[in-house]
Amino acid sequence: MEINISNNINKIHEIQTEAISIGIFSDEDLINSSEITRKIDSDTIINLIKNDFQANIGQIIVLYNINNILAKRIILVGLGKKTKFSVDNYIRAEETLVKTCISHNISEYCSALIMRLDTNICKKTAIRNAVISIKNATYKYTETISEKENKKIRCFTIVTNEKDQEKIKNGADEGNYIANGISLSRKLADLPSNICTPSHIAKTAKELADEFDSISVNIMDYEQVYKLGMRAFISVAKGSKEPLKFIEIMYKSNKKNNKDPIVIIGKGITFDSGGISLKPSNSMHEMKYDMCGASTVIGLFKVIPQLKIDRDIIGLIPACENMPSGNSNKPGDVVSSMSGKTIEIINTDAEGRLILCDALTYAKKFNPDLVIDIATLTGACVIALGNVYTGLFSNNDEIAKKIIRAGKSSKDPVWRMPVDISYLDLLKSNFADLSNTGGASAGAITAACFLSEFAETYKWAHLDIAGTAWKKNNKGSTGRPIPLLVNFLIDINNGN
């Protein structure tokens, strides 16, 4: 979707387009509320508006072929009471508008809704978040569908004034960058696992390096991973014929600073059968989404170069399948991790922490200022937080506060959970340094505590996205937590 900016708000009735939208407050004179409505000279239409349009939040009315207005349609969008109109309401109005345009087969339209925000509200941030929401609303998976729908928004123009034009353009550009990263992440996650293999993720990472000069990519295969001592990672991958990949993505900032890099790790299990500890069949098809941590990293690294983040950032993706075979891990096996710590495998379906622990150890080589890992790690996190909040675990209060703040500002919220040494008792083993599962109680917490044992030398945060990475109803990936991570990096970039 092409996004344009016009400062022609005072002559909006002269814009030739398929549709122009304006926002109407319920507590104002509807007919005299804008240049557009003042041009309406039909008593029939005026009476229709007065009788059938109360301008409640989300209410829409579409008018056709109005005299004195060059646009083919006018779309009036209800905004509710002016005193209660917020940025959230504005974003919802833009979402409602774009869905209306899609349902009416409108391929290009103009929106002046941004002009109804109060002058003391940061329009740059508002339009950035609105563009993300608009493009999310227009995302549709089509990669493996033979007959494509023709309903598609080709062009969206934001109508504003000359004073606000530059900041709105900057916000729209940022929103477009972020939305494109989210779309890439969603597409990868939605692909079936016979297409989105570890090799496919590696190929997509290489395409980022081709697209951006500031990005380089290193792909490691079995032999290199074996030499590094990543036996925990290998133990999961060996059950599948699909070869593992350890993907290293490096963003080099243009600006020189003395700050240590940030490392972001994404769990890349491209299909999780559970291994020998086999999952129930009724929802196993959803386990293609067990690589949403990896798709988050890929999508994020499409955004970072375009925002020109002033910090070296490294992405790590351990990617493989978790499959049952004669070579698979067995309950009771003991494996050695890259750190040297040994792990007893109680449940082969607790495999994500096995591949992440080696990535967390590998991250030490970069002397990181901070490491964040992202994983669809535990069903227990879904039970605890549902599909609204991502689970946040951290060994650093300051970092946790910054992530929580970024989640609030991006409408991609997290909820902090404990990482307490007391829970480590549940991970004790008689046959190894650690067990890979702590049993039924506090499952999300014990999983995070397991990871914390491999993140002792740096600031660390773990995001359990098992409940927020995809939707069961209206099935598909969400692209979370890319909005959160982008806002977090922007805040750090701005010294916050």
Active site amino acids: 279, 353
Distance CA 172, CA 131 (A): 6
Residue 312 in marked binding region: no
In contact, 246 and 269? CB cutoff 8 Å: no
In contact, 232 and 196? CB cutoff 8 Å: no
Distance CA 77, CA 134 (A): 15
DSSP conformation class of 213: T
Instruction: Tokens 């773990």: give the residue.
Output: 462
Residue 351 in marked binding region: yes
Distance CA 402, CA 226 (A): 36
The sign of the torsion formed by the CA atoms of 371, 372, 374, 380 equals positive
> How distant is the alpha carbon of residue 236 from its chain centre?
26
Strands 370-375 and 262-266: parallel
Distance CA 122, CA 101 (A): 26
Question: Three-state secondary structure along 414-436?
Answer: EEECCCCHHHHHHHCCCCCCEEC
Separation in Å, CA 226 to CA 200, 223, 244, 246: 21, 5, 11, 11
Residue 290 in marked binding region: yes
The sign of the torsion formed by the CA atoms of 2, 60, 50, 115 equals negative
Residues annotated as binding site for Mn(2+)? 267, 272, 290, 349, 351
